[in-house]
Structure 1
Amino acid sequence: MRRVLIFGDDDRSVLAAVRSLGRAGIAVHLAPFNWESPTTQSRYVSAVHRLPRYSDNPIVWLDELRHLLDQQQFDLLLPCCERSMLPLDQNRDRFADQTIALPAHDTLTILNDKQRTRDLCARLGVPTASGRPVREDDNAQSLVAELGLPLLIKQTQSYRLANLTSRNGVVQVNTADEVEAFLAAVPTREGLLVEHYFDGDGLGLSVLAKDGVISQAFQHRRLGETGTEGGSSLRISEAIDPRLRAAASAISAATGLNGVAMVEFRQDRTGNFILIEVNARLWGSLPLAVASGVDFPLYLFEQYVEGRTRPQVDYRVGLRGRNFLRDLHAIAMTFRTGPGHWSQALQRLAGFAMQPASWALGRERSDTFVRHDLGPALAQLRMAPRIAENRAHRRAEPDLERRNQGKSG
C-alpha cells in the first residue's frame, strides 16, 4: 500500500490533504505540530508521529525524522507549511533518498520572500501595491507623504528558520500617529516592508505546475476575511480570470515552479488588481478547491510519485466553502467593531445559521464537517471553549505588542 507522511495539522489545508489522499487508498501518516489537533482525529489518519519541534533542537528533530524514515517506507513526504518546509529545504542533503513535495530551493528563495516576489513581478509586469522596504531614516511623515494611508507593514518572510514557533504578522496603520507608534515600537527595521493598502476583494488563484508549466488552476473569491493578513473564513469558487492566470503562469515559468502554489490577489470595484503574495504550498482554502472538483493533493501525489500530469479539469463555479469556527470568530469581531458594522454582522450571522440548509441544498461545503469523516469536526467543537479563551487572552494584550510578536490579531 502506498504511504505518505504529511507534516502539519491545520484544519483546512492539512485536513483536506489527509482526506483527499486517504480516500484515494493511500495510507496517511501525520506528523503534527499540535499533537491534540482535531486533524489527528480523521478516520483517514493511519498513524500519528510525535516529532519534536525543530525550533527546540534542530539536531534532535533531524535525528528523529531520519530514524522514522529509516524504519518506515514512504512514497512521498508532504510538508504543508513553512514550519516544515524550511527545515526540509535547509537539510535536503539529509533526505536525498526521499521524494519530497517541495519546490526547488531557488524557487522558495523567491516566493517565500515578499520583496523578492515584488521584484520578480516588477520584471514580469505583474502589478503589485505601491511599497518598498522600510529604511532606517524613514519616519511617519515621509512614509505617509510617499505612500498615503492606510498602510500595511509586514515582514518580508512570514516565518524564519531561526524562529518557527512565531508567525510574522501584518499590521494595518490608518493614521500618521499609528505609523509613528509602530516605528518606535519595533526593535529593528530590518526585513520590514511597507505597502499602501489596496482596497478590494481577496482573490486566490491556486495552481499545480511542473517545470514552470501550470497543469491545474482554480480560482476563488473571499466573502469573509479574518484580518489584515487576508485569511478567509468564507469563500466562493469562480471562473478563472485570464489576467490572473497569465500573471500566475508568468511567475510559475520564471521560477520553474514544481508543485502547488496559491497566488493571492486583490481586485477593486473597477476590475484593477494587484498581486499580494505567492504561497508555494497547500493553502487555507484548499477544501473548497477539492469540493469543487480540483483534487490538488491527489494530483500533487501523482505528479511526484507516478510522474503523471493530468489535463486541466473542469470544476464547479458558485460553490461556497466555510470554516465553522473561523467564521464564527470573524462575525463576533465584526460585532465588536461597533454599531456601524452590526448590519453587516447580522447578515453574516444569518448566513452562518443557514449552513445546514445550504449543505442540504448543495450550495455550501464545510472545511471540517464532512459526513464520511466527523471526527475532526467533533473534536473542534470540544476544543471551541479553549480556542475562544486563547483568542480572548490575545485580544487583552497591547495591540502593538501582540502584532510585533507575530501573532495573528
Structure 2
Amino acid sequence: MTTSRPNFKPLRILLSEGTSTSAREAVTVLGLAGHVVDVCDPAGAGLARFSRFVRTYHRCPGMRENPLGFLRFIENLLATGDYDVLLPIHEQGFLFARVQERLIPLAGLALPSFASYRAAHSKAGFSRMLSELGLPQPETRIVAGADALRAAVRFPCVIKTTIGTASRGVWVVRDDADLALAMRELEAGNGFAGEVLVQARVAGATEKAQGVFCRGELVGFHATRQIMEGAGGGDAIKRGVRRDRVRDDLAAIGRHLAWHGALSIDFIMPDDDSGPFYIDCNPRLVEPMAAWLAGIDLVDLLLRISLGETPEVAPATREGVVTHQAIQVLLGSAQRGGSRRGLLRICRDIWCRGGDYVGSTEELTPVRMDWLSAVPLVMTAVLLLVSPGLSHVLAKRGWGQHLLDARTVATIESEAF
C-alpha cells in the first residue's frame, strides 16, 4: 500500500519514543510513505533504532523518571522548526495532552482534552465510562485496599491496577496461590496506593480495535483477532476481522469524549458471539501495520488530523488479512516452555512462510523491506536459542522509561507541573 494523494509532500515527523512495538510499526508505515522520521527514546537500542527509515535517533531523558526533563527535550527539538508533526505513539500522549497548548504552536499534534485523555487512560475511568454509556464489560468491581480486594475476588478473575500498560499491573487469578502472588506484587509495587479493578474472567478470543477520530467523529477503523498469544499476552499472530458493533461502540466512546486523535480498545469475543466485552482502552494507535496491510493507513489519517485537516471517512478494511510478529512468536514460545529444537523449527517456518505462517506477513521486523530490522530479530533468536529462559528478561525490556507509573501520573497531574 502506498500513498495515492495528489501533490504529496513528505512530512518531517518527530516520534515520541522508539522502544514499543507500536513505535516500530509506525516507523515502517511512515518510512514507506516517504516521510522523514526522527525518534526520541531514552533507551540506547530501542526497536526503532534498527530501521533504514529513521533519520536521527535522539537519546532523551526518560519520561517515567524525569517527565519535565523529557518535555523540555521535546520542546527544544520542536523549537528548531525542523518538524511538521509531533506523533505521540505511546503513553507520552498523557504528558503532551497536559501541556498541549505549549506544543501546538511548535508542530502539528492531534490529542483530545487532558480530561478526556485521563478518562481513557485510567482503567477505572474507562470501566466507569462503559457503565455510563451502557456498553458491555465483564462483571467489574473497583476497590481500594488489600482487605477490599480480598473480599471482592471470585475465582477465576483478573486483577488490574488502574495505571499500567504492556501487561504491567495485570494478574490472572485462578486460585488462592495466584491471589497470594498478586497481593505480594501489589504490596511491593505500591499498587494499593490507587484503585484496583477485579473483573470476572470471560472465556473467548481476545480482539482489538482501533480508530482515528477528528473532533469526536470516527474517520478510520480496524479490528483484529488474536490467533496466537505472544509474550505478556501480546499478539504473536493476528487476523483482520469485521466488527460493525465494535465500530459503533468505539464511535460512541469517541463522541462521548470528544476524542481527537487515535483511540484503541481491547475486548473479549466469546465463542457464542454473546460479546463483545470491553476490557481495556489505549488512547493511542496500537501496532498500525496490520491495518496498513489490510488497506487503511491510520497513521496517515492521524498525520492529516494533526495538521488540521478533516479527512473523509475511510472505507472498511479487508477481512482475513493475517500478520505476525516473529519476535513475539519466539518470546511467547520460549515463555511457554518451548525447546531449542522447537524454536529452530519456528525460525524455519517463519523464514520459509510455512506452517502457521502460510499467507501471513511480518509486521514488526519487515526484513525484506527494511534490512536493519533483522538486528533485533536475529539477536532475540540467538539469545533464546542459547537460553530459552531469557524470554522473560527480554520481554521486560519493553517496559522502559517511556512508560508511565502512578508516581509519574501524579506528577504530571499536579498543579505545579
TM-score by length of 2: 0.80
**CA distance in structure 1 between the aligned counterparts of 2:336 and 2:389, rounded to whole angstroms:** 18
Which of 282, 297, 304 matches 2:299? 297
**CA distance in structure 2 between the aligned counterparts of 1:20 and 1:253, rounded to whole angstroms:** 27
Q: Secondary structure at the match of 2:82?
A: coil
**Aligned position for 1:211:** 215
Which of 358, 361, 366 matches 2:362? 366
**Aligned position for 1:400:** none
Matching residue's letter, 1:363: G
Change in CA separation of 1:51 and 1:141 when aligned onto 2, cut-off 3 Å: closer
Change in CA separation of 1:214 and 1:173 when aligned onto 2, cut-off 3 Å: same
Q: Are the equivalent residues in 1 in contact too, given 2:334–2:389 (CA < 8 A)?
A: no
**Aligned position for 2:265:** 263
**Aligned position for 2:27:** 18
Structure 1 runs, 4 residues or longer, greater than 4 Å off: 348-353, 359-362, 383-390, 392-395
Deviation at 1:301, TM superposition (A): 0.7
**CA distance in structure 2 between the aligned counterparts of 1:266 and 1:233, rounded to whole angstroms:** 17
**CA distance in structure 1 between the aligned counterparts of 2:131 and 2:26, rounded to whole angstroms:** 33
Deviation at 1:202, TM superposition (A): 0.7
Which of 131, 140, 150 matches 2:156? 150
Change in CA separation of 1:200 and 1:382 when aligned onto 2, cut-off 3 Å: same
CA RMSD of superposed structures (Å): 3.2
Change in CA separation of 1:114 and 1:305 when aligned onto 2, cut-off 3 Å: same
**Aligned position for 1:114:** 123
**CA distance in structure 2 between the aligned counterparts of 1:174 and 1:277, rounded to whole angstroms:** 20
Which of 5, 14, 29 matches 2:38? 29
1:175-194 to structure 2, matched below 5 A, reads 175-183=175-183, 186-187=186-187, 188=190, 189=192, 190-194=194-198
Q: Are the equivalent residues in 1 in contact too, given 2:38–2:54 (CA < 8 A)?
A: yes
Q: Secondary structure at the match of 1:250?
A: helix
**Aligned position for 2:350:** 355
Matching residue's letter, 1:294: I
1:103-252 to structure 2, matched below 5 A, reads 103-136=112-145, 138=147, 142-144=151-153, 148-158=154-164, 168-183=168-183, 186-187=186-187, 188=190, 189=192, 190-226=194-230, 230-239=233-242, 241-252=243-254
**Aligned position for 1:279:** 282
**CA distance in structure 1 between the aligned counterparts of 2:146 and 2:68, rounded to whole angstroms:** 40
Change in CA separation of 1:132 and 1:394 when aligned onto 2, cut-off 3 Å: farther
**CA distance in structure 1 between the aligned counterparts of 2:263 and 2:115, rounded to whole angstroms:** 15
- Structure 2 gaps, min length 5: 1-9, 396-404, 407-417
Q: Deviation string for 1:209-261 (max 9, x for gaps)?
A: 1122111111110011236x64211101122x222122111111111111111
**Aligned position for 1:375:** 372
Q: Are the equivalent residues in 2 in contact too, given 1:139–1:183 (CA < 8 A)?
A: no
Q: Deviation string for 1:323-382 (max 9, x for gaps)?
A: 10111121233346x9xxxxxx98x99777433454899821102124221211234313
Matching residue's letter, 2:31: G
Deviation at 1:300, TM superposition (A): 1.0
Q: Are the equivalent residues in 2 in contact too, given 1:12–1:287 (CA < 8 A)?
A: no
Q: Secondary structure at the match of 1:186?
A: helix
**CA distance in structure 2 between the aligned counterparts of 1:140 and 1:60, rounded to whole angstroms:** 36
Identity of aligned residues (%): 21
Change in CA separation of 1:68 and 1:234 when aligned onto 2, cut-off 3 Å: same
Q: Which moved more, 1:5-14 or 1:270-279?
A: 5-14
Deviation at 1:134, TM superposition (A): 2.4
**Aligned position for 2:60:** 51
**Aligned position for 1:8:** 17
- Structure 1 gaps, min length 5: 160-165, 339-344, 396-404
**CA distance in structure 1 between the aligned counterparts of 2:180 and 2:51, rounded to whole angstroms:** 47
Q: Secondary structure at the match of 1:49?
A: strand
Change in CA separation of 1:186 and 1:11 when aligned onto 2, cut-off 3 Å: closer
Q: Are the equivalent residues in 2 in contact too, given 1:16–1:290 (CA < 8 A)?
A: no
Asked if 1:313 is matched to 2:321, the reply is no
Which of 64, 76, 80 matches 2:73? 64
Q: Deviation string for 1:30-72 (max 9, x for gaps)?
A: 1123221232221111222222223443443333322222224
Q: Are the equivalent residues in 2 in contact too, given 1:38–1:380 (CA < 8 A)?
A: no
**CA distance in structure 2 between the aligned counterparts of 1:175 and 1:212, rounded to whole angstroms:** 42
Change in CA separation of 1:266 and 1:89 when aligned onto 2, cut-off 3 Å: same
**CA distance in structure 1 between the aligned counterparts of 2:82 and 2:354, rounded to whole angstroms:** 39
**CA distance in structure 2 between the aligned counterparts of 1:59 and 1:246, rounded to whole angstroms:** 38
**CA distance in structure 2 between the aligned counterparts of 1:49 and 1:193, rounded to whole angstroms:** 37
Q: Secondary structure at the match of 1:363?
A: coil
Change in CA separation of 1:200 and 1:279 when aligned onto 2, cut-off 3 Å: same
Matching residue's letter, 1:221: R
Change in CA separation of 1:137 and 1:384 when aligned onto 2, cut-off 3 Å: closer
**Aligned position for 1:91:** 99
Aligned length: 377
Q: Are the equivalent residues in 2 in contact too, given 1:299–1:310 (CA < 8 A)?
A: no
**CA distance in structure 2 between the aligned counterparts of 1:185 and 1:354, rounded to whole angstroms:** 38
Matching residue's letter, 1:209: F
**CA distance in structure 2 between the aligned counterparts of 1:394 and 1:223, rounded to whole angstroms:** 22
Q: Are the equivalent residues in 2 in contact too, given 1:218–1:289 (CA < 8 A)?
A: yes
Matching residue's letter, 2:269: Q
Q: Deviation string for 1:305-336 (max 9, x for gaps)?
A: 25041332243221211110111121233346
